[in-house]
Structure 1
């Protein structure tokens, strides 16, 4: 139950992150997507920055203009109000209330005519800027809450210092939840001594609404957002169209290159115009034509060489048979010859054996090249093959002073294979190990798994230098070309072994270190035609593996790829 729930959660997580993975994959694969997304991102950043600066400047300009106009208007209104209070007819009134009410009515008429501000009178205020307990608050409109709309610090500022002062503050209207931005401008007015003895000080405030300015800025902000969005769409479209003109030929070149790599050498790019992309297409077509011509030449040369080797090998069969018969006669009668002639007959017989082996291997190579090789599959126990090969090489091992041991499990290591070719591979590996083992022990190991069987042949001789583990499988390769051939065969044994291994879809690996020795590993699938993924035997010896993580090795498999 817990495992099922975990799988469901994992599935939900994968589904949730699928869009992000697809976007990341598109970013990795598509140059056009990277250019368009990069252009849009950079353009969006620049548009936001430019819009913010422009909106800031417009906001400052609108508010500064409104502030200057409000201060001018309020200053003129305060002067007018003070002049009316100082008028002679005001002295006939001996109560502050009627005077202030009359002043509010006059100022309200002007406010209603212009419909852009409210009037608030607060007072009287003492000399310390504190509002007295019997303070009255009078407003020109019942729609405004004067006590909340006029900041207390502005009231104190007006009382403590002469002049005109202003603050940005919210205006609270009725009902209470209606609030709009405002600019409050205030100054002091003083009643005549005849009205209030001594003359009391009141604070006169002009409360200007900034709703129109807010709407103007809202329109400007919307225009900037709309313009920026349209600009981003336009830039994205332009970037997509421009990159498409560049990327489309590149994608076409990639598809043509893939077809060329698949062997369709006649594929070419369609070139239009004379710009840089067109010249790139022309150069690509010229390169493809040159490659096609060279590949055709190499194929023809290879065909001629294979034909030549096959023809020469077949043509040499008849004279070689004649020479072999004559050599056998001389070799059988060598005891009747003088010592020099007898030794010459022995050398002739040995070199004929060597030449006949070379001719046989050349014929085998020509059959591989011609694709005329077939397998005779049967169930083959790799343990028995290893033992037969070791028994057959016993005489050579005694001659070289080497001891060959076989390590195999009790369980059969059976695979579907051509026994003749598998024996040839193992014989080549064992003989090479004896010849290059410098008289030291040679170890043959056999093991099997559910999917494959394997055999390793290890010697403790000269070993392999870095890079030689790849070249050792080349035809006619010699570790030291200047060295006289005093040991070894024709140089084709391992090449034929590789071809035999690939016919079985197996792998032939090599590892070695100078002065330590070398290991060759043959791995075959239990069922013919199936690929080998993991070998049952390790290639690097256990005592060398902790320090030989990067040691040289080569692997030849059915895909004909080599790794080191």
Structure 2
């Protein structure tokens, strides 16, 4: 299967849609769950630490004297750091002489430089008292990160005088918990995606199996197997589609059977009518031949008054005979009973014989080298040539030119016979219909000397040889009919079957 077909596969699109929907839902759910849990974990840890720190500031820092020493600050900071929240404490105050003293529970972990300047400014800023603000100083906090480790830093001043305190608590345990949660949610998302893909594959198989059966049935129906039906199970839309297909196939089978029956009846009628006409036509032809001999006789036994009528009867009888023969030939083509009788012929000699038999030597120019041999049915080639040359003389005018050449392309060894005239050419609206049966170029002239079957029979004879016959207009004017035939018809498998050892076909 090519890359383009894979990406246009309905199965792949269904799996991708399911996977995208599942991925979107899983990522959204995981993101929301992570964000909610993160806020809950951090808020819980933060509130607990801030509450403990504020309580320690009120209880322990509030018990310090107004001008504590550094030792008193360090002892108090150390006591405050023993809280259940395990934070570091930094206390800042002024001693008895007015110098700034600092007490730190852990000098290696927490110093004043670790406190953001903005937080220090907020802690030291005295707030204006109002009905809604009863305290001049408040507790402020901020989350910071150091070496990818999150910390909570907070600070406040004692009301009524006393040290300023800062607290630093590591949020690394909470961060690890959140990382574990993120990994768990990621794994859950991946599993959900895999599950969605498997479910999509199963759903696609369930949905596409009837579609594939429908496609296979449609192909069989297109190949002519009109008895093709689908097994219907269930009551869903696919089952309804299968029922509709079966109904359409049954209706098509019935219609084709009716048309085949009518077509067979029509062919049988034409064949029977042609056979029935041959017997009386044979008798009529014999009589007209006698009348024609009387017309040509020097005795003048035919009354001059009825001579035109006699000549009309003779010509129309011949025309009727040609029409009956053509109808019988057409029915043989339609019934598939037309057969080839193959022989090796020299094309130049064959065309010359066709022209000479119809006294067209003065009106036809032949451009064909002797020695171009072909194995085909001479009688059917003669029918093709007679129709093409006669049609060119009737509608195009002489001289009619016949050119013969060989053509070896793509491993095919063919002969080309071109019949061209010097007439006005074939009208463009007529060109697509020149090989149609009984087609008349002018509706105002429904009756003509021909039967309207000549070119159609010529085309069928070309096809039975495995060849082709085409019509076109030459750039310099005039119509050109091109006959392409394989040089050895016995090497082709045409519609007439395989030639037998005697030169016929079974």
Q: TM-score per shorter chain, which class?
A: 0.7 to 0.9
> Could you say which residue in structure 2 is the equivalent of 1:170?
145
CA contact (8 A) 1:123 1:136 kept: yes
Change over 3 Å in CA distance of 1:76–1:419 after alignment to 2: farther
Aligned positions, number: 470
Out of 403, 411, 424, the position equivalent to 2:383 is 424
> Could you say which residue in structure 1 is the equivalent of 2:504?
none
Out of 313, 332, 337, the position equivalent to 1:348 is 313
Change over 3 Å in CA distance of 1:72–1:530 after alignment to 2: farther
> Could you say which residue in structure 2 is the equivalent of 1:25?
5
Asked if 1:183 is matched to 2:152, the reply is yes
> Could you say which residue in structure 2 is the equivalent of 1:267?
228
Asked if 1:119 is matched to 2:77, the reply is no
Asked if 1:150 is matched to 2:111, the reply is no
Change over 3 Å in CA distance of 1:340–1:122 after alignment to 2: farther
CA contact (8 A) 2:74 2:102 kept: no
Asked if 1:478 is matched to 2:440, the reply is yes
How far has the Cα of 1:26 moved from its partner? 3.6
Change over 3 Å in CA distance of 1:383–1:52 after alignment to 2: farther
Measured against aligned partners, the alpha-carbon deviations of 1:438-477 in whole angstroms (never above 9, x if no partner) come to: x4875555443322333344455352444x4443323222
CA contact (8 A) 1:457 1:521 kept: yes
Asked if 1:453 is matched to 2:428, the reply is no
Change over 3 Å in CA distance of 1:47–1:423 after alignment to 2: farther
How far has the Cα of 1:345 moved from its partner? 2.0
| TM-score (norm: length of structure 2) | 0.76
CA contact (8 A) 1:137 1:147 kept: no
Measured against aligned partners, the alpha-carbon deviations of 1:126-174 in whole angstroms (never above 9, x if no partner) come to: xxxxxxxx998955275x4x479926545764677465443332245xx
Measured against aligned partners, the alpha-carbon deviations of 1:360-401 in whole angstroms (never above 9, x if no partner) come to: 222222222333333334455656656666677774985xxx
Measured against aligned partners, the alpha-carbon deviations of 1:191-232 in whole angstroms (never above 9, x if no partner) come to: x9xxxxxx9x87x53222223332343344344444444544
Asked if 1:357 is matched to 2:322, the reply is yes
Change over 3 Å in CA distance of 1:492–1:211 after alignment to 2: same
| TM-score (norm: length of structure 1) | 0.69
Measure the CA separation in 1 of the matches of 2:58 and 2:365. Answer: 122
Measured against aligned partners, the alpha-carbon deviations of 1:258-308 in whole angstroms (never above 9, x if no partner) come to: 333333333322223444444433333233222222222322333333333
Change over 3 Å in CA distance of 1:224–1:320 after alignment to 2: same
> Could you say which residue in structure 2 is the equivalent of 1:540?
none
Measure the CA separation in 1 of the matches of 2:403 and 2:472. Answer: 15
> Could you say which residue in structure 1 is the equivalent of 2:268?
307
Measure the CA separation in 1 of the matches of 2:189 and 2:285. Answer: 94
How far has the Cα of 1:327 moved from its partner? 0.5
How far has the Cα of 1:331 moved from its partner? 0.7
Measured against aligned partners, the alpha-carbon deviations of 1:325-371 in whole angstroms (never above 9, x if no partner) come to: 11111011125223332222222221122122222222222222333
Structure 2 unmatched ranges of 5 or more? 95-99, 127-137, 497-506
CA contact (8 A) 2:400 2:420 kept: yes
Higher deviation after alignment, 410-419 or 279-288: 410-419
Higher deviation after alignment, 424-433 or 319-328: 424-433
Structure 1 unmatched ranges of 5 or more? 1-17, 125-133, 173-178, 193-198, 399-403, 533-556, 560-564
How far has the Cα of 1:492 moved from its partner? 1.6
CA contact (8 A) 1:149 1:171 kept: no
- TM alignment of 1:406-425, pairs within 5 A: 415-425=374-384
CA contact (8 A) 1:168 1:183 kept: yes
Change over 3 Å in CA distance of 1:326–1:39 after alignment to 2: same
- TM alignment of 1:285-300, pairs within 5 A: 285-300=246-261
Change over 3 Å in CA distance of 1:424–1:82 after alignment to 2: same
Measure the CA separation in 2 of the matches of 1:227 and 1:428. Answer: 82
CA contact (8 A) 1:271 1:278 kept: yes
Measure the CA separation in 1 of the matches of 2:394 and 2:77. Answer: 124
Measure the CA separation in 2 of the matches of 1:447 and 1:136. Answer: 116
By relative contact order (CA 8 Å, sep 6+), the higher-ranking structure is: 2
SS at match of 2:241: helix
How far has the Cα of 1:490 moved from its partner? 1.4
Change over 3 Å in CA distance of 1:186–1:302 after alignment to 2: same
Measure the CA separation in 2 of the matches of 1:160 and 1:445. Answer: 115
How far has the Cα of 1:411 moved from its partner? 10
Change over 3 Å in CA distance of 1:240–1:457 after alignment to 2: same
Measured against aligned partners, the alpha-carbon deviations of 1:90-129 in whole angstroms (never above 9, x if no partner) come to: 64x4xx3x3443233223322xx433x33356899xxxxx
SS at match of 2:306: helix
CA contact (8 A) 1:464 1:517 kept: no
SS at match of 2:225: coil
Change over 3 Å in CA distance of 1:480–1:109 after alignment to 2: same
Measure the CA separation in 1 of the matches of 2:305 and 2:58. Answer: 146
SS at match of 1:339: coil
Measure the CA separation in 1 of the matches of 2:442 and 2:361. Answer: 23
What root-mean-square deviation, in Å, do the aligned CA atoms of Structure 1 and Structure 2 show?
Answer: 4.3
Change over 3 Å in CA distance of 1:239–1:510 after alignment to 2: farther
